[in-house]
Structure 1
Amino acid sequence: MKIYILEDEINIMKYIISIVDKIPHCEIVGYSDEIAIAKTDIPRLNPDVVLADIELKDGDSFTLFSSMEKIDFQILFVTAFNEFAIKALNIGAVGYLLKPIDENEFKEQLNKCFKKNQEYKVFENQISISKQQYHLENEIAPKLILKCSDFIQIVEMKDIMYCKSDKGYTTFYFQDGSSTMVSKVLKEYESIMPSQTFLRCHQSFLINVNFMKKYFREGILQMKDGYKIPVSDRKKAELMNYFQ
Structure 2
Amino acid sequence: MLKAIIIDDEQLAIDTLKWELETNCKEVEVLFSTNKPTEAIQAISKVRPDVLFLDIEMPELDGFQLLNQLEFRNFDLIFTTAYDNYAIQAFKMNAIDYLLKPIEKEELIKAVHKVVLNKQNKTLGENLKSYIKHNLEILDTNNAKIALPMEKKIVLVDQKEILYCESDGSYTQVFMDSGIKHVISKNLKQLSLQLDEKHFIRIHQSFIVNINSIKEYYRGDGGEVILLNGKNIPVSRSKKNELLKHILK
TM-score, normalized by length of structure 2?
0.47
* Max Rg structure: 1
TM-score, normalized by length of structure 1?
0.48
